[in-house]
Amino acid sequence: MPARRSEKDDELLRLITDWYFLTADELAYLTGRNVVAIRARLQQLGTGKRKLDGRVLDGLNYLYSMDTPADKFGPKIHYPAQKAFDLAYDEGWVAERVNVEQRTPKNMPHDRIVVGYRFALLNALGDRLRWTQHYYNLHHRWADGEDDHIYADGMFYIDNQPSYPTFFLEVENTKQAKYDARGLSAGMRKAEGYMTYYERGLFQEKFHAQDFRVVFAVNTWRKAENLAKTLAGLPTIDPMKFWITDFAGLRAGAEDKVYITPKNFEHKRYALVDA
């Protein structure tokens, strides 16, 4: 006997298809609902089976779940199955169809860094935050070359009417590698890709906005400074377009000066309120 989806379940599914990777406690925080009740609903919305009054009930197959990587006592992380994204499209929660990318314990820590940054921004900015991490907003290919595209980890803007500072997010939790014939690492070529995206007017055409910045996040402050120094030597980029911080900086408030730029990283830091 299958479980049934309820209106309250739709609230959970809408959040998970927007945030992608959430725990029961985070869903309780976002909804104001009881965490125990949410855990029970997540089990029914999942892909497994459960027992109730001696009966075995099938899950509704809207969600996958995974244990927190490297923490056997950590909470389960819930993320959408294809059925959830199909529902999101049918209900108008997403503008275009989204295909599921199966996650593994190897890439979940990266995904959770993105979620953590969004929570920090939400706490700092409240209703002024507008965020997306859907593929159709984050990916844009303009030619067939290996680097002729962007594919960000997230995108957000701040509703500071009449201005709307816009950022793409790139979480770099691996060392700079994959150097090309010019000696440029994959990270440096990403920066060039964003410049091409801007200079060709592709961003402006897609989002009907004038400009953006890119937040590069690396795991230590020393790496942040090294990346800023490296990008400062790249003549093909605008050094003020790239804001660089470490993973600790991703948890900062809107007024905390935790970002540096290739232009003046040695003596100046920026906060989101400076955007």
- Residue spans of beta strands (DSSP E) within the chain: 49-52, 55-58, 63-67, 76-80, 129-132, 139-141, 149-151, 154-158, 166-172, 213-218, 242-246
pLDDT classification of 58: cutoffs 50, 70, 90 = confident
Q: Which residue type, as a one-letter code, is found at position 54?
A: G
**Average pLDDT in the 197-212 region?**
96
pLDDT at position 87 is 97
The pLDDT of residue 2 is above 60: no
**Average pLDDT in the 54-71 region?**
85
The pLDDT of residue 184 is above 90: no
Nearest to 165 by CA among 207, 221, 199: 207
- Residues 120-161: tens digit of each pLDDT: 999 999 999 999 999 999 999 999 998 999 999 999 999 999
**Average pLDDT in the 222-245 region?**
95
Residue-range domains of the chain with CATH: 7-91 (1.10.10.10), 108-274 (no CATH)
**CA-to-CA separations, 91 to 11, 13, 108, in angstroms, rounded:** 12, 11, 27
The pLDDT of residue 78 is above 70: yes
Q: What is the mean pLDDT of the chain?
A: 92
Q: Helix 186-199 vs helix 221-232: angle between axes, to the nearest 10 degrees?
A: 60
The pLDDT of residue 182 is above 90: no
